[in-house]
Structure 1
Amino acid sequence: MIRGSESLLYDAVYAGIQDQVYVMKPAENTYVYEFLNESAKKATGLSDQVIGQTFEEVFSQNIASVLITEYDKVMQKKDIIIYEDEYVVDNQTRHSNITLSPILNKQGNVDVIVGVVKDITNQKNAERELSHLWNELNKSKKRYQSLFKDNSDAIISFDLEGRITNGNPQVQDITGFKPIELIGKTCNAILDEESTAKLLNLINQPSSGKTAQLNVEITNRSNQIKSVSVKVSPLILNQKIQGTYAIFHDLTKEIETIKKWEESEERFRIIAEHAHDMISLLNYQGRIIYASPSYKRIVGFDNQEYTGKIFLYHIHPEDQERLQEIVVNSIKNGTPFSLQTRHYTMDGSYIWVEANGAPVFDKTDNFKHMVVLARDITMQKVYEKQLEHNATHDYLTGLPNRRLFKSKLTERLCHPSSDSLAVLMLDIDDFKSINDTFGHDIGDAVIVEFGKKVSQYLGDNDIVARLGGDEFIVLLYSISYAEKAEQFANNIKEVMKKPWGLEIGNIDVTTSIGITITNSEDNKDAFQLMKQADIALYEAKNDGKNGFYIYQDDTV
């Protein structure tokens, strides 16, 4: 056993170490405790009473056998070994990294073995969470790529001048042109003059953000004319249209179906029974006199259940009034209609359907019935929502982007308050060296985690956005005194010191912060405040990084 000055030496060296430290003396086929520090006692519940005892005297036979096996490896190799282990404390599984180091005497034999046990539970948990996050992100990315590429309808995006900027593979099915052949051209490359004017009017007119729809005729590459319905959805920010995408649905099959029914009711029924869309006929009272078998496949209810019901049957209550008004006007004016509505399903949920209806009149203009074709567009709705989200959010972190941040800041400045607001611009110090040293995947992970760390200290109305690269910007919506902005900056500096949970282990990351503070009397706009924060960030960098600087009016 270690005594006197040697014991004092162990205490001095190991007492302040946060990791668990054990000194074990080899004995016959076992090992004897010579020393354990305070961290080891706290973690295991052991005390100095184990000094002089063997593994078998302290632990169960199974645990002692595992420990002896690892220590025997050190005796055989006379070299350091490192391994990982897990154990249960208070019903929680803890993970540890164990380093066993032999101390040799003058004869080259192992005198004692020093075991250092480092708790890596937080690191392991962070690795699992990061792995789960990336798996979910990859799934989400692939899902929405599939929505665009595999959509059965053609999707074309336009700029504000009506020029084509992109398209999915299905564009060729309708137009005969590959999407790449249409990029940069105006919509009159596939539409006649009248249809072009209608589409451009939808693209350029002021919009509330709701989807608009019209029916047009397309002249394809072979000079064939196709009737299509076009649904135009603008992306709007600050009440300005930033871009537009249009979904072209080929109406050829629907039109042929209706024409064939007019020629022969029996022939119509045969076609309807094999249609993918839900097809129904309404009489003059608005009751359903025919529902296609496809109702069963799409909404789960037998088509016979709809016969005799009013056409609002199973329509979402919030959509019924609008649907009734449109159908009545369609019959009254003798014009077709198209709208989107929610339809109840057998599993208790609602799906989005797009209903296209047309009244049918006899030769004397007497109303015969209404033909309605409805198709499931639920996945299309999901895709539209994702497109809107992508327009205002950063793809990597999921945080708001520059556009959304500037919009929120402008909105706050338009609502004066007795409190001040603060804008903080942050970037990661020496981020390039992180990319160069660890690779871009780790660099991306640092950016994602950086956004999370900053978000921890945001209030209900505060916002953090990624401007690009390693640059972030924060709006503190309401601060009663300037020191609150400084306190926020200090919190961010401190949280950078906490573990990062990266697969390569922890790394040192610091940030520089530029701060500008304003109130309603300053009459500054969003551009000025963001510029001032950028200038302050530059000053913080010049001051040696890992700090913050508050903009003053005399700051150059």
Structure 2
Amino acid sequence: MLHAEMVNLDHILMDGLQDMVFVVGVNERHEMFYKYINRISMEKTGLTRNCLGKSIYDIYPKEKADFLYSHYFKALTTLEVVTYEDSYHSPEGEKYYSETKLTPLKDEKGRCYQVVAVVHDITGKKRAEFELKEYWNLISEGRQRYRSLFEYSLDAMITLDMDANVLNGNPMVESVTGYSLTELICTSFYTLVDLDNFRESKRFFQIAMDGTPVTYRTTILNNVGHSIELSVKFTPIIINDEVTGVFGILRDVSENINLNRKYKESEDRFKIIAEHAHDLITLLDARGEITYASPSYQTVLGFGDKDYEGNLFSYNVHPDQVQELEDSFIHSITEGVPCKLQFQQKHRTKGWIWFELHGTPVFDDRNRFVHMVVVSRDITLQKEYESKLTHFAFHDSLTDLPNRRYFKKVLTEALEEHQKNQVGLAVMMMDLDNFKWVNDELGHDIGDEVIKEFGRRVQQNIGENDVVARLGGDEFVVLLPNVKSTRQVEAYAQQILQAMQDKWEINDYVLEVSASIGIAIAPLEGASEYSLLKTADESLYEVKETSKNSYVIK
């Protein structure tokens, strides 16, 4: 049974799955050993099939093994899915980043007997996040330097006579030009200006002399011949209604120009990343509106980026998840922490598809919110594989009916409902009469087909809310919640027995097949999983010892 499940699991994981998959067995002493490693795992990590049967500590250095063991141990002791991020090096030495999801599988005693690890490559997303963070840090640094330059530094100030000769200035003039005031006084301002800007400076000086303040940008040469970019403001000095000179404010904007250039380069690099990324990259303002959507929206969702810009991020998000999404963003901005969420978004032709987003709030140097950077990745395939793994854990591989593990789960829930609301509850245990003869005489292939047909007929003759499960071999069990009376339970049993009388044609064999059924009806008080199953099993034994092809109810 367990071997058949593993063969099925191996087949599905090997067909087109690009994620790394490891199956780790667990013994009663909580020792872990590798039972399965898929092809892509061996290619990416350099591990081989020689690792099968070996423990984590046999394969990895102690520090790495301790790290892995702590997560696997958490999964097997809590019996809950554990997710963590990790990194590893390929056989060529290249570093990759991954997100691992550990799913513990329990046996019928509720003990974890193995852990399935699905390792998803998030290298591209991580590198994009690192790049984005670097670029936004650069922009933030530029803004801080820009503020320091314009808000906290003193300007150089000079006074010029009517011929543009320097009359006086403050100490900051030397800081800007490299010349001391002693060297500048009585010299022409034009001697500082490079030849390309000489005529322009004379023109703006004349505008000021005509009585109009003016600001312009020019280039001067300092005392060692280096070019300095200046913002110059000329203000006429008016005495007795006559212009007698000009007051000048000189601001060194070389730093600002460089910062603006870096800012522009950062924006260009951000656009290059965003426009070539396969993930969805989105910028949101404080209202949650999309101010930028990457071109990948077109290829991933079938809608153009311009369809989203100006809309709320919840646009085309599944209605059931809008509130959770908004709450997550508000918490992220309020607490200044990243957020991570899985949600569904509408594709133009494919309907709802699953995404996982990573949102990072960005603040300015005054800790004011600027925008949220959101990177969303299509995880539809991952969700489908998780669903298949869950299905394998709770369904029989031969009949695709629920297995013992799933039946115990729904039985527990039905008992809680039975005891809480005093509703009827019954369990039917059944198997085929003389099934051993089918296997011995006709072979196990025919036997498997008989078991599948038996399960199908039982399922067709019970209610929509009833559950049929295969316990193993030819043994099946049926849960009847909310039954109204003993007569209703007997009617189900008679339907199932009658269904067995219909013609059986299996691979050119015509068979006569019958079944025996043991039934337990739960009392209003004192019922338990164990007592119900035990009573049903005893009833089945009684039928087998007496008449067969019948039922006994207790």
Same-fold call, TM > 0.5?
yes
Aligned partners of 2:56 and 2:65 also within 8 Å: no
- Partner SS state of residue 51, structure 2: helix
Aligned partner of 2:71: which letter?
L
- Partner SS state of residue 228, structure 1: strand
- Alignment of 1:431 with 2:442, yes or no, is no
- Displacement after TM superposition at 1:449 (Å): 1.5
Aligned counterpart, 1:155 = 21
- Partner SS state of residue 520, structure 1: coil
Distance 1:203 1:374, change over 3 A: same
Distance 1:149 1:338, change over 3 A: farther
Aligned counterpart, 2:257 = none
Which protein has the larger Cα radius of gyration, Structure 1 or Structure 2? 2
Q: Deviations over 1:358-388 (max 9, x none)?
A: 3456788776654322221112222222222
- Displacement after TM superposition at 1:498 (Å): 0.8
Aligned counterpart, 2:496 = 492
Which of 444, 467, 474 is equivalent to 2:471? 467
Distance 1:408 1:348, change over 3 A: closer
- Displacement after TM superposition at 1:473 (Å): 1.7
- Displacement after TM superposition at 1:340 (Å): 0.8
Q: Deviations over 1:115-146 (max 9, x none)?
A: xxxxxxxxxxxxxxxxxxxxxxxxxx999944
- Partner SS state of residue 387, structure 1: helix
Worse overlay, 316-325 or 408-417 = 408-417
Distance 1:241 1:142, change over 3 A: closer
- Displacement after TM superposition at 1:466 (Å): 1.0
- Alignment of 1:383 with 2:385, yes or no, is yes
What is the rounded CA distance, in whole Å, between the counterparts of 2:15 and 2:442 in structure 1?
34
- Alignment of 1:535 with 2:401, yes or no, is no
Distance 1:348 1:430, change over 3 A: closer
Aligned partners of 1:516 and 1:550 also within 8 Å: yes
Aligned partner of 1:520: which letter?
L
Aligned partners of 1:515 and 1:533 also within 8 Å: yes
Which of 283, 292, 312 is equivalent to 1:310? 312
Could you state the TM-score of these two structures normalised by the residue count of structure 1?
A: 0.62
Identity of aligned residues (%): 38
Worse overlay, 311-320 or 197-206 = 197-206
Which of 394, 401, 419 is equivalent to 2:396? 394
Distance 1:222 1:475, change over 3 A: same
Q: Which runs of 5+ in 2 are unaligned?
A: 1-6, 136-265
Aligned partners of 1:177 and 1:221 also within 8 Å: no
Distance 1:169 1:254, change over 3 A: same
Aligned partner of 1:548: which letter?
Y
Which of 239, 255, 259 is equivalent to 2:126? 255
Distance 1:461 1:346, change over 3 A: closer
After the TM superposition, which residues 194-205 of structure 1 pair with which residues of structure 2 at under 5 Å, given as runs? Answer: 196=68, 199-200=71-72, 203=75
Q: Which runs of 5+ in 1 are unaligned?
A: 1-140, 552-556
- Displacement after TM superposition at 1:277 (Å): 1.8
Q: Deviations over 1:272-303 (max 9, x none)?
A: 33332222333555443432222111100112
CA RMSD of aligned residues (A): 4.0
Q: Deviations over 1:170-226 (max 9, x none)?
A: 33355432476266534994874885487358626768x7x6644334466788764
Distance 1:149 1:183, change over 3 A: farther
After the TM superposition, which residues 260-279 of structure 1 pair with which residues of structure 2 at under 5 Å, given as runs? Answer: 260-261=131-132, 262-263=134-135, 264-279=266-281
Aligned partner of 1:250: which letter?
D
Aligned partner of 1:199: which letter?
H
Aligned counterpart, 2:445 = 441
User: How many aligned residue pairs are there?
Assistant: 408
Aligned counterpart, 1:168 = 38
Aligned partners of 2:9 and 2:392 also within 8 Å: no
- Partner SS state of residue 510, structure 2: coil
Q: Deviations over 1:524-556 (max 9, x none)?
A: 4222332333333333333253333456xxxxx
After the TM superposition, which residues 111-122 of structure 1 pair with which residues of structure 2 at under 5 Å, given as runs? Answer: none
Distance 1:406 1:504, change over 3 A: same
Aligned partners of 2:14 and 2:39 also within 8 Å: no
- Alignment of 1:506 with 2:510, yes or no, is yes
Q: Deviations over 1:431-473 (max 9, x none)?
A: 2332344443332221122112222332354332211111112
- Displacement after TM superposition at 1:318 (Å): 2.3
Worse overlay, 319-328 or 349-358 = 319-328
- Alignment of 1:545 with 2:415, yes or no, is no
- Displacement after TM superposition at 1:269 (Å): 2.8
Aligned partner of 1:299: which letter?
L
What is the rounded CA distance, in whole Å, between the counterparts of 2:320 and 2:294 in structure 1?
25
After the TM superposition, which residues 514-533 of structure 1 pair with which residues of structure 2 at under 5 Å, given as runs? Answer: 514-521=518-525, 523-533=526-536
Aligned counterpart, 1:374 = 376
- Partner SS state of residue 315, structure 1: coil
Worse overlay, 326-335 or 399-408 = 326-335
Aligned partner of 1:388: which letter?
T
- Partner SS state of residue 391, structure 2: helix
Aligned counterpart, 1:457 = 461
Aligned partner of 2:75: which letter?
I
Aligned counterpart, 1:339 = 341
After the TM superposition, which residues 9-408 of structure 1 pair with which residues of structure 2 at under 5 Å, given as runs? Answer: 145-146=11-12, 149-157=15-23, 161=30, 163=32, 165-172=35-42, 174-178=44-48, 181=51, 185-186=55-56, 189=60, 192=64, 196=68, 199-200=71-72, 203=75, 213-218=83-88, 226-232=96-102, 245-261=116-132, 262-263=134-135, 264-283=266-285, 286-347=288-349, 349-360=351-362, 369-408=371-410
Distance 1:185 1:494, change over 3 A: same
- Displacement after TM superposition at 1:342 (Å): 0.9
What is the rounded CA distance, in whole Å, between the counterparts of 1:426 and 1:511 in structure 2?
7
Worse overlay, 192-201 or 311-320 = 192-201
Could you state the TM-score of these two structures normalised by the residue count of structure 2?
A: 0.62
